[in-house]
Amino acid sequence: MDAQTVSLQLPLAQITRSTGDAPLHYLEYHPGVAELALLGLAKDTGDADLGDALTLARPLSQPLPKQPAASAVTAPWCLTLLSPGATLAQLRALLDFVAGLGASVTAVDTLSQRRERTVLRLQLDGKLDFDPVRRACLKLAEEIGADLVLQTGDSQRPPSLAGFDMDSTLIDAEVIDELAKITGIGAQVAAITEAAMRGELDFRQSFKKRMRLLKGFPEAELARIAPQLPLKDGAEPLLRALRALGCKTVILSGGFTYFAHYLQSQRLAVDTVHANQLEFADGALTGEVIEPIVDGARKRELLEQIAVEMGLPLSRVIAVGDGANDIPMLSLGGLGIAIHPKPKVRQEAPQSIDRFGLDAALYLFGLNDGQIAGLLERG
């Protein structure tokens, strides 16, 4: 039989007492408006067992709007579930986890209910120690096959300044490795890059070593490589939405200005670029570096400097990256989002998204799919 969406009204606690499972489409819970939670499940009437606790729940008396407006965040914490295939079992595990923290759920909004993506934002009240709870969220996320993002309630708003790493963050490649492939030393340079991004090598020293290996690389090849660099999934809509929101964006890259400026002028809505300059002589790379090298400390310093120049508190600043040299700036502002990060970075970054593209960051600003679509139409 075809799956049907079953909408149920029930106390939130009743969900945790259920025993069955089914795909989950939405959950809305706003005690200030209605005491009962609104739960939407896909039920195959041929074989699905939702458990007695749910089959006894009251069916919805009115149709659910396609995209309900998200409620204002008033709680001290938000915990966002981003699942490629949300289920009732995932929801139960999440509610049990919250109860185990000694916290209470004060509201739930469904920010996305696509076939391939369900996003639930839970507002939490309670005294939470951020770092150990964040790490516990990472563990639970692995167990249930989803992303779980913890943040303070006041960070659930669009930023005014966003700093982005470039390689493996905005683009799905490490440019220095691409240059090395052309010169026949791709594996050698890639191994150094990977170790540096995992935090096993000092970035400055590894960068100098890789540049020496690239001595003699022809300058004319840059124009051929730049258009071939693949964008990271979700990069273009995220940057467009941020521009529509009035947020200033900056690339802060340990890569190269040539490619960052190409992205800025041809492919992405980026306002400012800070990266490393390539030094050429007689049409070929010299193998030397031009100071200052944009390493992890420099990224953080630049992002903080830009915020000061804009007159912004750091609470209105976010950073997005993937490697160990991004950790300093990820810990600077209101949000530090690691996207498809290396293991060390996943453990240390304040927020982490593993299973979705860059545009999933928009949910962490309190936006739902309807609002995001409106921003993209404007942008």
Catalytic annotation, pick one of 2, 147, 154, 165: 165
- How much of the chain, in percent, has pLDDT values that exceed 90? 80
Query: Is residue 261 classed exposed, middle or buried when 0-12, 13-18 and 19+ CB atoms within 10 A define those classes?
Result: middle
Band of pLDDT at residue 70, cut at 50, 70 and 90? low
The tens digit of pLDDT for each residue in 117-138 reads 999 999 999 999 999 999 999 9
Same domain, 254 and 367: yes
- Residue ending a domain, among 113, 134, 155, is 155
Bridge partner residues of 2 (DSSP) = none
CATH number at residue 327: 3.40.50.1000
Residue 305, domain extent: 161-378
- Residue ending a domain, among 155, 189, 217, is 155
CATH number at residue 109: 3.30.70.260
As a whole number, the mean pLDDT across the chain is 91
Whether 165 is a known active-site residue: answer: yes
Same domain, 141 and 283: no
Bridge partner residues of 167 (DSSP) = 171
The tens digit of pLDDT for each residue in 82-122 reads 999 999 999 999 999 999 999 999 999 999 999 899 999 99
Structure tokens at 288: 């030397």
Whether 282 is a known active-site residue: answer: no
Catalytic annotation, pick one of 109, 147, 167, 359: 167
Same domain, 97 and 218: no
What's CA 17's distance to the chain center, in Å? 32
The tens digit of pLDDT for each residue in 268-321 reads 999 999 999 999 999 999 999 999 999 999 999 999 999 999 999 999 999 999
pTM of the model: 0.92
Same domain, 54 and 69: yes
Same domain, 219 and 335: yes
- Residue ending a domain, among 155, 186, 215, is 155
